[in-house]
Structure 1
Amino acid sequence: MLFCLGLSGASFGQYYDSGQDPFRLKWRQMNTNRFQLIYPEGIDSLAAQYLWNLESVAQQEKRTVTYFPKHIPVVLHPNTIISNGEVGWAPKRMNLYLVAPQDNYFQPWNEQLSIHEFRHTVQLSKLNQGATRFLNLLMGEQATGFILGWHIPLWFVEGDAVCFETGSSQAGRGRVPDFNMRLKAQVLEKGIYSYPKAIFGSYKDFVPNRYELGYYLVANGRNQFSNSLWDQVLDKVARSPIHPNPFSASIKKQTGFSERNFYMQSMLGLHDSPIDRVKNEKAVKQVVNSNSNDYVNYYNPTKTDDGMVAFKTSYSSIPAFVSIDANGNEKLLHQPGYVFDNTFSANDSLLIWNEFKNTRWENENFSRIVVYNLRTDKLDYLTSSGRIFYSRLSPGADALLSVEVDEKINWTLTLRDFKTGEVFKQFAFDTIQPVQPDWAPDGKSAVFVGISFKGKSLGLVDLVSENIRWILKDESMEFSQPKWTGKGIVLKGAYKNTSNFFLYDLTQNTWSLLTDEPYGVNEGNITENSFLYSTYTSDGFKIECTDSAFTKDLRGIKPSAFQLKLADNLQQEETQVVFSLPHQSYPSKEYHRFSHLVNIHSWAPLAIRVDNQEVGLGLTLLSQDVLSTSFLSLGYQRHEAEAYDEYFIDYQYKGFYPLLDTKYSLIPFSSYQPRDSIPRLVEGVQHIITQTWQVPFYFNRGKWYRLVQPELGYNLALVDYKPNLYFEDQNKYIHQINAGLYAYNLMKQSYRDLYPKWGQSVYVTVRNVPMGSYAGSQFVAYTRLYFPGLAANHSFRVYAGFQKQDQTGWPFYNKLATPRGYYTLSSAQMLSTRAEYAFPLVYPDVNYCELLYIKRIRTNLFYDVASYDNRYWQQSVGIELGYDFHALRLITPFELSFRYAYQLSEQSHFFEVNYAVNFNALYGNSEKNSIPDK
């Protein structure tokens, strides 16, 4: 679940765009005093359940953060398969994405979302007091988001919400054994990281995320000091926003520790915690040969005739299926697209997995079934769309068993013909979400986990009679990943607060413990005499194999509920939320999207230009609708250097399939011009109107991101002179028509990649002024090509461009890249080429006085050349030294580079400093980070 900061908006007017739903949807709404619930037509009963759940959470007594939020819009998104939730400020709204994940814990998804996201609403609403309230009056909703983004670390934002979901219910991530697995392994095996490294991450080492770290810090603070600790911290931040660090100051006042020392003391408690293991004499060996200390995960190891296959992820390379021989040597098989749950189904010749498929609409996407033949290296898509998960190949390789969900969030177990992909049988469930199914060895039955408001269940379904036998029923504990073997059901569950594997003997109805791992396990597979599984270490999930899993098992041990004092204390500190079916009906009425396009949420005594991330002197009003389709900024800007005023309206509409962008500027002018040798006052107004239409077509396939986007634009510049006695009407109109095409084919990037390993992008545009004394045209075309470098995460890039334009007409600005160290020249024809070699130098993870944390230092070697009309040449060669860092403890990453260029044409030197702010990193948007700018 994601919390959306307002920091980027407060700084540059770049408010969080949560994506659009298909235009075909018709929207409805239900309203209470606290919520305006907006949802697509056709899911009224589900919408009523969500509204009832939110009201149930809102009516709970607030004991640890004492504040009752005001009215907030909530938008339901049932068409995306990305399981998430988010609360955004500027504008204020909550987005809930309704498709539950397959690794869901023992609580229905609608309850989890309601608890967690409502807590974010409480956090933000509580900041609207004291001096921050005054800032809200001055700047609108963006002020709250700015104060939170500037002063409050994300580990608190998410950790407090996880504590609330754990304390307010019988479930929550605080009761899931694997939730603290990564943090515990890191502390016990690698030691306690510095505080900046823990909150900002690292390119060198794996760092647990803000949910895991935050839960432990927030819960430990409440447990060790006071359950009102964080309530008082939020009060301090809200009332003292101009304090250099009110968050840390409040922690110091209440605990005696600085923020950094509070973190260290909490981690020491985790470092000293024992690992409680049973005595087990099983012979366990690690399978993969590796001399690297890099963070690498191997998921779902599966035995084949040639050894085994597994799904591998790492920091240095993109995810891939690999084969591993008997000696532990691995071979790359295939690099897929996004694989759901890092899982797959396999036999000796086939791999089957579910892969993400995107569309124009960010809030409508699909998962399709992919089949890869290990023998022929052939890839097929069994389905082109659908919302399909956890597909499993039958023992006879003639059918697929999957979990599916429709747009009304109805869940089914589905049987498909493997050759045609046609569905021939479905098993529907009224109140249960089926997850993680697996075939019986005879192909006539299946095992699955069911999740309902009563808890988790483990069921066996006869695929012929449709009868269900429940082995575990309505349990308030965590278990998952059932596998049906000839000896019984293998199940991942908790034993002494750590996930391990168990065996349920179907003939004797008895349980046995199969593994005894210190941190946790993931997806195992059983053959005749061995058990392959992944066990967690601080360097990732590693494959282990035991040949004696069934001869030296520990009988009588069954999965148990997670019992940890930290979670139990949280439950005592919170009021329990009791969920049920709605006890009242909520009237539903139509929601007219076009009547809500304007939603002014913020304003500022500054000119904020969203399109170019520019802030200047002036005034601005900012508007965004809650459906994230309509974006408006209007205001006034004073251009002091050029000594003129501008009144502007910038508007984007993304609700249609084409993207529409309209800009209008009004610029008054006055000057003295000679007339009869006497200066005369000339006054008037310049009007500039720009309209752009873009139509994106996505063709993503596997590891390749692909886009073809035609563009059409129209510009009108009108100079309207005020009539006077000395000058005739000289009004001037300039019409400009633009047409272009942008396309790319780019390989997805690994975490450490600076650029795609392979890829191509191209941009072609024609701009034309068709009439008048300024008639003329310009043609521009350029491409970027990406190639792998000499080592991992190195990249070689080539840029080439051509531009031709009329010099007697309108003076079009240059759109080609100029050699570094030079200014562009005016010419009728221009050729430009760049060659670059970029690579990371070191990942220092160095902290300076808590004010500067450097994650990566990188280098870029370049050679640039350009010709103008084949007569004038510019050439430069040089080096750039870049730093990726965090400053002033802001979560937003900064990039700073120092550039040296030697100008070969002039034999002179050029130095330059550049900087950038990566706002995409706030939202984990790795796909957008891999797409180059035009």
Structure 2
Amino acid sequence: MKSLKYNKKLIINTLSIFILTFNSYMVFGQLFSSEQNPPSVKFNQINTPQFQIIYPTPLEQDAQRMANLLEKMINDVSKSLGRKPKPISIILQNRGVVSNGFVQMAPRRSEFYTIPSQEFDSQDWLNGLALHELRHVVQFDKLVPSLGAPIFEELKLALFGINLPPWFFEGDAVVTETVLSPGGRGRQPYFELALRTNLGSNKHYSYSKNYLGSFKDIVPNYYTLGYFLTSKMRRDFGEQILDKTLSRMARFPIRPYNFTSSLKKHAGIGTSQLYKNTMQELDSLWAKQSDSSGKTLYQTAYHEEAQIPTFYQLPYLTAEGDLVCIKKSYAETPAITLIKNKKEETLLRIGFQLEPNLHYAANLLVWDEYRQDKRYGKQSFNVICIYNLKDKTFKQLTHKSRYFSPALSADGKKIIVVKVSYDNQFSLVELSAQNGEELKSYPNPQNYILQTPQYDDAGKKVVVTALNQDGKTLLVYDLENGAIEKLFAPVRQLISRPTFAKQQILFKAHFNGTDNIYSFDLSTKAISRISDAQFGAYQPSYDPKNQKLYFSDYQHTGHRIVSIDLNSAKSTLRDKEPDNFLQYFKPLISQENTCNVFQDIPEKEYPIKPYKEAAHLFYFHSLRPTNTESEIDNQYVIGFDLASDNKLNTFSSTVGYAYNFGLRNSEYRATVSFKKYYPIFTADYENRGRFSSVRLIRPNGETVVPFTWREHVSNFGITIPFATNWLNKGFSTGFNISSGYTSRYNLSLQPNNFPMQISFPMKYQFFMGLGTLRSERDLATPWLLNFNILYEHLPFDSNFDGSNLILKTFVNTPGLFSNHSLQLNFNWQSNSGVYRFNTDIARASGFLNLPALDRLHNSFLLDYRFPIAYPDWEVGPLAYIKRFKGGIFTDFENIGKGNGLRSYGAELRTDLNILRFYLPNVDFGTKIIMPAEESINKKPIFEFGLILNY
């Protein structure tokens, strides 16, 4: 029986872990959001045979375009997988400033964030996004075609995550966006930069390191790795290889190592051999490209060579002859940095940016930063910030704005920015550098996607990158007469960061197959290559005094600042050299129906209807297994929840059933959560069995008698959240209030004074957090303050009395050396009455093996953590170890009530991935705990811990 019970528990726990793991697994591959729009946003819908387009009313034009486009291209996107997907909802989101999208199965929908970034593709943003995300829809339905609503959508998502590595589903989508369009990331040198640079620098890393990441070296993301691996599969094994591989997986979706074994079945090689073959081929092909294109290894004279991955970006020469730039490394968060004679001064730690942006003029620095909405996660902003180098003062000029890529006029009085409206209209806007006030707006009659503008020296003209479905070009705005000049016909180039330099305009492009700095001669209209970068040159700036060009040169350790004399620089006319870019995707075009799905898109006008949220509150999509432990003999409470989430994330609910093996009876429950308005309202109900015991006096003496009952338990609560961020800091706070009602019945025995109702116990909670950004190598947030206070009492119940007051504080500070962390955790609790025996605060390490305390009043825990090594060890297919880290700690309890010291010790932990799963990131280690009490045998206590991070 014990063996049967253990096996049953093992099976249930394993199933639960798998479901949790693979639901979360997708979060990292795509941006999943359960946040809401402000309630003022009104939605309409368009219904086609395959799609329900739900969109904010300002996006009607884009919604009609997407309806026609998606219907037109669905067969082409599905062809190589041999599966046309089932209908799905597409939600267009226009209130945020982050460019992204995702596909989700629970509930079944895809979201398109309609605002494009300031540096991306050479075609329309929404067109490319639709291609990429629709391919994910096809992948889902190909792998698990027979599962879906109303009960299997989360299971479908779980099976997708357990079977397909992220490099495959993202790489395959990148291949699709590339071969079916004239754009796509597979045509961009920047997309392959990290991998090509590593191979070109003789940095040949293992499959696990290139896939799972590193704290020590720069490696490609899994989009890049997956693009080349997936392309190699189709190049070598034909157009049916994806269909055959995924079809075999779909027939038995719980097969161990399903992807590798299915690939080996139809291609004769597994994942490891595919990786080796791909890297060998790329190494050879890129070596030939290097022989035919950029060869110059620029030397930096401005800063020391980096020993760890470091990125010096957007360099400018100041009036004093110093360099200023944005610096970021694996050990440090982004900062505006001043460099003088190779000595660096950190001027200001800045906040999260959608892309690196910085501009200098007249001793001023201007840049943009992301700002989150205080409540609604679907809404965000991009604000303009300014810093004065002379008096070293910072100011945020705009609030709740949608301004991008600011640049100063030469006199420092005006700022030119790109502004994007909620209906996705782009315009150039001039702001006051004093207060951020809008001075003038310049039209964009063709509604190009505008990117990275800059003034000329006189402040009378602005050059800006312009993009539409035909490609990219440069526009010059004459600010005095309003004229707009297009400098050349649109090209399929990732043109960015144009800047005036005498009678030229400098910009980044890749006409020769490598990202380089090019110039456009305003008199001859000729385009010439100025730089000769080995791997890539980016973000040009020009100083008219010394007539030097400054830019970021990329190497395997990151970006370095270099310069060349523009007068003596050798230039090569664009039409005098070939494009040596490795078009790895090119053989795949013949496997498709078309090389451009955006040709001949219909212009049908679909009927429009309001999307009434009240009519779509319930969408039951998944049956979730549940497993908890009974209060009787550690038996199990096993059941299921039927989950519902509406597609706008404003209403969630579950209904569930469980069987309590300890009490041998059933339990029923339901929950709802309403998140449309500022407060979040929650309520839950449970009907359950319960067990306790009572001491009774019998004629033969006192005895303990067990008894059971059932009860209705209802709870409800309100949460009022608030969040904000500025520079490298984030602040969040909120207030919760909750209560409930319990009614008991069917008692097997009714003891004296046993209450049949518990009437509205009240719980109040206030929480607050303030912290800073953390770098890749930081073991914890460098500066962090968390404060949480909770109070419970029973003001409406005459059957009970008592109260519980809890204070929890948590503080992080930097340690003695880089990426070290000191953590202090102080907790305090005072309780009485029915709460007297509650213990709701953190305990000392090893407390279960220490002498018991009569009551716990407070605890104080100190923990110092530090990195030890970054080995990047691959232990076959079993594990990949990224980092070893250590720590020492000292824990106190009941300070002021005695000695206080309870335990101390040390720990050794490691960050690793197991079985080549991208997620979870596993934090595994051991802790040796030394008891402090003299009254016990002070033998060390050993504990092992496993933390799964998603």
The aligned residue for residue 204 of structure 1 is 216
Deviation at 1:642, TM superposition (A): 7.1
The aligned residue for residue 903 of structure 1 is 931
Pick from 524, 541, 546 the counterpart of residue 525 of structure 1.
Answer: 541
The aligned residue for residue 689 of structure 1 is 714
The aligned residue for residue 432 of structure 1 is 448
Matched, 1:330 2:344: yes
Deviation at 1:204, TM superposition (A): 1.4
The aligned residue for residue 905 of structure 2 is 878
Q: Which moved more, 1:719-728 or 1:146-155?
A: 719-728
The aligned residue for residue 567 of structure 1 is 585
Q: Secondary structure at the match of 1:94?
A: strand
Kindly provide the amino acid, as one letter, of the partner of residue 480 in structure 1: S
Deviation at 1:643, TM superposition (A): 6.4
User: Contact 2:364–2:412 (CA<8 Å) still a contact in 1?
Assistant: no
Matched, 1:376 2:396: no
Q: Secondary structure at the match of 1:844?
A: coil
Matched, 1:634 2:662: no
Deviation at 1:594, TM superposition (A): 2.9
1:579-637 deviation digits (Å, cap 9, x = unpaired)? 5665211112122223322211111454489xxxx996222212222222333333223
The aligned residue for residue 708 of structure 1 is 733
Matched, 1:863 2:890: yes
Distance 2:577 2:24 in 1: 51
User: Contact 2:98–2:354 (CA<8 Å) still a contact in 1?
Assistant: no
User: Contact 1:502–1:559 (CA<8 Å) still a contact in 2?
Assistant: no
Cα distance, 1:868–1:444 mapped onto 2, change above 3 Å: closer
For structure 1, the residue ranges without an aligned partner over 5 or more in a row are 920-934
The aligned residue for residue 370 of structure 2 is 356
The aligned residue for residue 914 of structure 1 is 945
Cα distance, 1:14–1:67 mapped onto 2, change above 3 Å: closer
- Counterpart mapping for 1:828-839 below 5 A: 830-839=857-866
Matched, 1:848 2:879: no
Distance 1:725 1:563 in 2: 83
- Counterpart mapping for 1:107-506 below 5 A: 107-129=123-145, 133=146, 140-273=152-285, 274=287, 275-276=289-290, 284-304=298-318, 305-325=320-340, 327-359=341-373, 360-429=375-444, 430-506=446-522
The aligned residue for residue 894 of structure 1 is 922
Pick from 758, 781, 786 the counterpart of residue 807 of structure 2.
Answer: 781
Cα distance, 1:752–1:12 mapped onto 2, change above 3 Å: closer
The aligned residue for residue 595 of structure 1 is 615
For structure 2, the residue ranges without an aligned partner over 5 or more in a row are 1-16, 630-634
1:363-385 deviation digits (Å, cap 9, x = unpaired)? 10001110011111111011112
Cα distance, 1:772–1:185 mapped onto 2, change above 3 Å: same
1:161-188 deviation digits (Å, cap 9, x = unpaired)? 0110111011111111211111100122
User: Contact 1:819–1:874 (CA<8 Å) still a contact in 2?
Assistant: no
Q: Secondary structure at the match of 2:186?
A: helix
Kindly provide the amino acid, as one letter, of the partner of residue 821 in structure 1: G
Pick from 770, 773, 798 the counterpart of residue 745 of structure 1.
Answer: 770
Q: Secondary structure at the match of 2:847?
A: coil
Distance 1:420 1:71 in 2: 50
Q: Which moved more, 1:41-50 or 1:118-127?
A: 41-50
Kindly provide the amino acid, as one letter, of the partner of residue 35 in structure 2: G
1:742-763 deviation digits (Å, cap 9, x = unpaired)? 1111111111111111121111
- Counterpart mapping for 1:536-555 below 5 A: 536-548=554-566, 550-555=568-573
User: Contact 2:306–2:557 (CA<8 Å) still a contact in 1?
Assistant: no
Distance 1:860 1:918 in 2: 19
> TM-score, normalization: structure 2?
0.90
Deviation at 1:255, TM superposition (A): 2.9
Deviation at 1:699, TM superposition (A): 3.0
Q: Which moved more, 1:351-360 or 1:519-528?
A: 519-528
1:260-282 deviation digits (Å, cap 9, x = unpaired)? 11101100111112243668998
Kindly provide the amino acid, as one letter, of the partner of residue 122 in structure 1: V
User: Contact 1:111–1:579 (CA<8 Å) still a contact in 2?
Assistant: no
Distance 2:390 2:517 in 1: 32
User: Contact 1:282–1:546 (CA<8 Å) still a contact in 2?
Assistant: no
1:317-339 deviation digits (Å, cap 9, x = unpaired)? 111111112x3332211111112
Distance 1:793 1:355 in 2: 24
User: Contact 1:778–1:803 (CA<8 Å) still a contact in 2?
Assistant: yes
Kindly provide the amino acid, as one letter, of the partner of residue 885 in structure 2: R
Matched, 1:63 2:84: no
Kindly provide the amino acid, as one letter, of the partner of residue 532 in structure 1: Y
User: Contact 1:827–1:869 (CA<8 Å) still a contact in 2?
Assistant: no
Q: Secondary structure at the match of 2:760?
A: strand
The aligned residue for residue 799 of structure 1 is 825
1:28-54 deviation digits (Å, cap 9, x = unpaired)? 211112111111223222211122222
Q: Secondary structure at the match of 1:58?
A: helix
User: Contact 1:827–1:868 (CA<8 Å) still a contact in 2?
Assistant: no
Distance 1:388 1:670 in 2: 61
User: Contact 2:74–2:134 (CA<8 Å) still a contact in 1?
Assistant: yes
Deviation at 1:849, TM superposition (A): 2.5
Kindly provide the amino acid, as one letter, of the partner of residue 713 in structure 1: S
Distance 1:503 1:663 in 2: 65
Kindly provide the amino acid, as one letter, of the partner of residue 884 in structure 2: I
Distance 1:711 1:14 in 2: 30
User: Contact 1:6–1:149 (CA<8 Å) still a contact in 2?
Assistant: no
Kindly provide the amino acid, as one letter, of the partner of residue 403 in structure 2: I
Cα distance, 1:287–1:571 mapped onto 2, change above 3 Å: farther
Distance 1:739 1:455 in 2: 57
Distance 2:390 2:532 in 1: 36
Distance 1:475 1:492 in 2: 13
Q: Which moved more, 1:396-405 or 1:890-899?
A: 890-899
Distance 1:432 1:69 in 2: 33
Q: Secondary structure at the match of 1:286?
A: coil
Q: How many residues align?
A: 905
Q: Which moved more, 1:450-459 or 1:154-163?
A: 450-459
Kindly provide the amino acid, as one letter, of the partner of residue 324 in structure 1: I
Deviation at 1:773, TM superposition (A): 3.4
Q: Secondary structure at the match of 2:230?
A: helix
Cα distance, 1:547–1:679 mapped onto 2, change above 3 Å: closer
Q: Secondary structure at the match of 2:200?
A: helix
Q: Which moved more, 1:177-186 or 1:42-51?
A: 42-51
Distance 1:356 1:513 in 2: 34
The aligned residue for residue 932 of structure 1 is none
Deviation at 1:813, TM superposition (A): 2.5
Kindly provide the amino acid, as one letter, of the partner of residue 686 in structure 2: S
Cα distance, 1:658–1:630 mapped onto 2, change above 3 Å: same
Pick from 646, 657, 680 the counterpart of residue 667 of structure 2.
Answer: 646
Q: Secondary structure at the match of 1:489?
A: strand
Cα distance, 1:9–1:897 mapped onto 2, change above 3 Å: closer
> TM-score, normalization: structure 1?
0.91
User: Contact 1:8–1:14 (CA<8 Å) still a contact in 2?
Assistant: no
The aligned residue for residue 720 of structure 1 is 745
Distance 2:409 2:578 in 1: 31
User: Contact 1:283–1:546 (CA<8 Å) still a contact in 2?
Assistant: no
Q: Which moved more, 1:791-800 or 1:230-239?
A: 230-239
Distance 1:280 1:578 in 2: 34
